[in-house]
Chains A and B, each alone.
Chain A
Amino acid sequence: MTTRPMIELKDVQKYYGDYHALRGITADIRAGEFFSLLGPSGCGKTTLLRTIAGFEDITSGVVMIDGKDMEGVAANQRPTNMVFQSYAIFPHLTVEQNVAFGLRKDPRTKEEKAKAVDEALQMVGLKGFGKRAAHALSGGQRQRVALARALILKPKVLLLDEPLSALDKKMRENMQVELIRLQRQVGITFILVTHDQEEALVMSDRIAVMFDGEIAQLDDPETLYRLPKSRRVADFIGHMNFLPAKVVDEANGEIDVDVQGLGRCHINAKQAPGTNTGGEASIGFRPETLTILYEGQSASDRETTGSVEEVVYYGDMTYYDVKLDGVADPVRLSMRNVPGRPVLDRGTKTRVAWSPSALVLFR
């Protein structure tokens, strides 16, 4: 990995008339990483991607690709290629002609180009499809043609605009794995736009979560999941329970908090990654950090009591909504269904194990 970032964004601002679409985006995207822009629709993630591609002019700020300022560099001159949400396969051409489209001005001989096309098709698993008419392909195949068409040009950055959203669940999961494999194989920087948090977590080296034209948090998937900086980020990625809490004392990298229903406990200062906003403090924790204790089991750390309000059975997992004693709203916890662990009925009184080390403080 080189020290210089592949893409540097410095205070990128974009207005559509009065609408402030990008509000000062600053980020570095490393060479060779799988980077995701994650956020709800309208958060500016696609606009940012199109800005990098050169389809949108920015109002102010700097976009640098591979150390070069992209100001005034048109999309067809940038070292980026895009896989469009609709794939944008040219329907009047064959698969081969689609893949070779970008090679029109390439000085190589016809045979060399044909070889490159074959290699690109093989890379995306479409060997032997070259002569097919593009419009006769399935969604997954079109996706692959779009990938081959972009990768054959050996771009420095491949931009993917919600490439999997049109595929069904099974196909999507297959393509996720294949995209990761492909990215490792070619070593090109991938930037993926998605609204699907699971997709982002599965595929990315790092994720920028965007809300309202700003990056709310930029981290690797694990940090993002375990230490979200704000309740909004926490809510967008997976499920998180929140309980009202009070900060009692803070010293020596330790925070003393009083959590409703859980009582007083010490947490590490790292467990409060968000900046101090001065609002009401709350404690968040993921469903899998709570454990139902069956008879004879004891908590390794702390435990509390509650009653099961709702049971949702998923086969491998069961989700319980449990009303903890002393807490108004039920919290969600998840248990893996393993032998010897019966699924509880609604209304069952139960003990619940928890640990202060899994808590996240928002304030």
Chain B
Amino acid sequence: MKPSGKGLWLYAIVYLAFLYAPILLLPLFAFNDGTIIAFPLKGFTLHWFEVMAEKDQLHIAVKNSLIVASASAVMSTILAIFAARASTRYDFKGKGAIIGLIMLPLVLPEMIVAMALLVVVLQVFGDGALGLFSMIAGHSLICTPFAIAILSGAFQSLDKSLEEAAYDLGEDRISAFRLVILPLVLPGIISSLLISFTISMDEFIIANFLGGTQQTLPVYIYSSLRFPKEIPVIMAVATGLVAVSICLLIIAEYFRRRGVAKTGGKDSGGFL
């Protein structure tokens, strides 16, 4: 059915403008030759990117973020593969409760998770333990439910007899998994890695609580916002982040579509 009336069109346009116009402002001011974030624009410059390239603390934050996000993505995806396979393939006592509890962080206020983890880490390991490892642990915890949601879908759509067929044809359990199951859920695994990476990348609360002296990018940006002269540099950083995000999204969609095409499934629409 075609939407009728100009009202709905207007609504859609206003909605999209509200969603994306602010993001479009970021590169605008990143290239603006002025220290104040205000119109009118003053002229084109790459100065802020040069400043960005020289800030050691920023580089450390980016490095920390990449380490934490990569490790969390790998961690949570591995955990999710086990959980998703167990929940789709086997029946066992208390399955519903166990999966429910694993998925709970999805709806639990992150503040609570962050505080609880902070208390535990401080009490059990002392404040020397705060840092990259504690952040990775926290981020794995919150990314795992998302990874499970994605991977359950991938495992669920697999015909159980595929694995049996591989086994019947002479493979053992492990090689059957490697040769048949893994390639078929690979698009799901890549999606899971990317989503977990993204979630960890822009997570602030846990990073702020459990980071100790180590800053991740969001924490660095937040602390820099207190200094007005840093703001154009932040704009440049944000512009870079937007560019990276778009690239990741395109990669994710490419793999998703390839996965759909490879297994002959119907494209039920993805991110793009």
Taking a contact as CB atoms closer than 8 A, the residue among A81, A85, A135 that contacts B169 in the complex is A81
- In the bound complex, CA of A102 to CA of B168 (Å): 9
Residues of B within 8 A of A90 (CB): 162, 165-166, 180
Which A residue sits closest to B165, measured CB to CB? Answer: A88
Would you give the 0/1 interface string for A110-134, flagging 1 where the beta carbon is closer than 8 Å to chain B? 0000000000000000000000010
Interface residues of A in 337-362 (CB under 8 A from B): none
- In the bound complex, CA of A101 to CA of B165 (Å): 10
Would you give the 0/1 interface string for B210-236, flagging 1 where the beta carbon is closer than 8 Å to chain A? 000000000000000000000000000
Determine if B168 and A53 form an interchain contact, defined as CB atoms under 8 angstroms apart. Answer: yes
Indicate if A76 sits at the interface (CB-CB under 8 A): yes
Taking a contact as CB atoms closer than 8 A, the residue among A53, A80, A101, A136 that contacts B166 in the complex is A101
Residues of B within 8 A of A105 (CB): 170
Indicate if B50 sits at the interface (CB-CB under 8 A): no
Determine if B169 and A101 form an interchain contact, defined as CB atoms under 8 angstroms apart. Answer: yes
- The number of chain A residues touching the other chain, given as a range, is 20 to 34
Indicate if B5 sits at the interface (CB-CB under 8 A): no
- In the bound complex, CA of A9 to CA of B164 (Å): 23
Indicate if A187 sits at the interface (CB-CB under 8 A): no
Residues of A within 8 A of B164 (CB): 55, 75, 82, 84, 88
Would you give the 0/1 interface string for B135-171, flagging 1 where the beta carbon is closer than 8 Å to chain A? 0000000000000000000000001011011111111
Indicate if B75 sits at the interface (CB-CB under 8 A): no
Determine if A104 and B263 form an interchain contact, defined as CB atoms under 8 angstroms apart. Answer: no
Which A residue sits closest to B182, measured CB to CB? Answer: A92
Interface residues of A in 60-116 (CB under 8 A from B): 74-76, 80-82, 84-86, 88, 90-92, 101-102, 104-105
Determine if A92 and B165 form an interchain contact, defined as CB atoms under 8 angstroms apart. Answer: no
- Known A91-B262, A133-B264, A135-B264; judge A86-B161 contact (CB<8 A): yes
Interface centre among B162, B169, B180 (most CB of A within 10 A): B169
Indicate if B172 sits at the interface (CB-CB under 8 A): yes
Q: Smallest distance from the beta carbon of B232 to chain A beta carbons, Å?
A: 49
Interface residues of A in 291-341 (CB under 8 A from B): none
- Known A55-B164, A92-B183; judge A104-B262 contact (CB<8 A): no
Indicate if B184 sits at the interface (CB-CB under 8 A): yes
Determine if A102 and B169 form an interchain contact, defined as CB atoms under 8 angstroms apart. Answer: yes
Determine if B168 and A75 form an interchain contact, defined as CB atoms under 8 angstroms apart. Answer: yes
Residues of B within 8 A of A82 (CB): 164-165, 168
Residues of A within 8 A of B183 (CB): 92
- In the bound complex, CA of A135 to CA of B159 (Å): 13
Determine if A135 and B263 form an interchain contact, defined as CB atoms under 8 angstroms apart. Answer: yes
Which A residue sits closest to B171, measured CB to CB? Answer: A76
Interface residues of B in 165-220 (CB under 8 A from A): 165-172, 179-180, 183-184
Determine if A81 and B168 form an interchain contact, defined as CB atoms under 8 angstroms apart. Answer: yes
Interface residues of A in 176-222 (CB under 8 A from B): none
Q: Smallest distance from the beta carbon of B67 to chain A beta carbons, Å?
A: 33
Indicate if A149 sits at the interface (CB-CB under 8 A): yes
Indicate if A175 sits at the interface (CB-CB under 8 A): no
Taking a contact as CB atoms closer than 8 A, the residue among B159, B167, B169 that contacts A153 in the complex is B169
Residues of A within 8 A of B166 (CB): 90, 101
Residues of B within 8 A of A76 (CB): 167-172
Determine if A91 and B170 form an interchain contact, defined as CB atoms under 8 angstroms apart. Answer: no
Would you list the 6 A-B pairs with minimal beta carbon distance, nearest first?
Answer: A135-B264, A102-B169, A88-B165, A88-B161, A84-B161, A91-B263
Can you pick out 21 interface pairs between chain A and chain B where the beta carbons lie within 8 Å of each other?
A: A53-B168, A55-B164, A75-B167, A76-B169, A76-B172, A82-B165, A86-B159, A86-B161, A88-B159, A88-B161, A88-B164, A90-B166, A91-B264, A92-B262, A101-B169, A102-B169, A105-B170, A133-B262, A135-B262, A135-B264, A149-B165
Tell me the A residues contacting B by CB distance below 8 Å. 53, 55, 74-76, 80-82, 84-86, 88, 90-92, 101-102, 104-105, 133, 135-136, 149-150, 153
Task: List 11 additional contacts besides A102-B170, A135-B264; criterion CB under 8 Å.
Answer: A53-B168, A55-B164, A82-B164, A88-B161, A90-B165, A91-B262, A91-B264, A101-B166, A102-B169, A104-B170, A150-B169
